[in-house]
Homo-oligomer: A and B are copies of this chain.
Amino acid sequence: MKKIINRPEDLVHEALQGMASAYPELLKVHFAPDFISRADGPVKGKVGVLSGGGSGHEPMHGGFVGRGMLDAAVPGPVFTSPTPDQIQAATQAVDGGAGVLHIIKNYTGDRLNFEMAADLARAEGIEVEAVVINDDVAVQDSLYTAGRRGTGVTVIAEKIAGAAADQRRPLAAVAELCRKVNAQGRSMGLALTSCTVPQAGKPTFELPEDEMEIGIGIHGEPGRSRAKLRSAAEITALLANAVLDDLPFQRGDSVLAFVNGLGSTPMIELYGVYNELVKLCAGRGITIVRNLIGPYMTSLEMAGCTITLVKMDDELISLWDAPVKTAALRWGV
């Protein structure tokens, strides 16, 4: 295992300390229980938007804490759900009196712990709504999931819900928008290599030198199948067609296209995939009106990418374009 770390068991804690030092104007890092909250929060009268999950997907979620996106991010150990007490503490910290939205990726551990935290927070008089993101079309059930997994749509949902909350929309409306993004978004990914969880010390899985795993999960969960490595054009078609056919997206649709790097796939390759995706969508009569390209939801140092498409309308576009100021996404301010 080749990593720039101290003791594996200290990695998440030390990374959080690094974030605390790096971004004091954006965020506060709390320890025991661990969570990251917006530096200027809680914002009175604003819905708090909170997400979280296992670490190892950086910059998701901590890199999305700040104005116009998340009020809090709750990191678990690498690829492991945060605990209910962490989530509860973060929920309390970001409640500005207008309630808190939990955005949860659909993994069994996350769902259980977020549900328990929501119950605890409600018992304290905090209104909580939960939206479960389950956009990954690859497989129905998976290693850690009943139903579909939550992947790339999470990033888009966090941005759009965050913008709606920033406009002081009420909790029910913010949650409804978040559900809409999830309902209108689909994703699929593919890996060329495994990642290595630091505390495991060895790759999660092995792939022969000429094979790829189609439909990979962001924790290395098995996908649909293994196949011989193919060209960028074929890989893009494999992922994008599965995504497009699932919703299904239709001729005339406007979409946000998110080409995400899983860790070690260079930007030059992601730009190449985006180039293929533009041609493919055009060929199917679908217009890409917004895009996001880069390693925003990673799986440590896994090589591979995910493609997410979200059907957009004027309201969603306007919320996507709204000001955001976080470590990883920043525009308009």
Contacts and interface: CB of A to CB of B under 8 A. Distances in A.
Interface of A: 2-6, 11-12, 14-19, 21-22, 55-56, 58-59, 63, 78, 192-193, 209, 212, 229, 231-233, 235, 263-276, 278, 288, 291, 293, 295, 298, 300-301, 303-305, 325, 330-333
A192 B4 contact: yes
B300 A18 contact: no
B58 A21 contact: no
Given A4-B192, A267-B59, A272 B22 contact: no
Looking at chain A's contact residues, is the secondary structure mostly helix, strand, loop, or mixed? mixed
Contact of A19 (B4, B271, B301): B271
A293 B22 contact: yes
Contact of A21 (B15, B235, B275): B275
A19 B332 CA distance: 21
Nearest to A275: B18
A312 to B, nearest CB: 16
Given A4-B273, A18-B274, A330-B331, 4 more contacts: A18-B272, A21-B278, A267-B295, A325-B331
A3 B264 contact: no
A265 B231 contact: no
Given A15-B275, A22-B274, A295-B295, A4 B63 contact: no
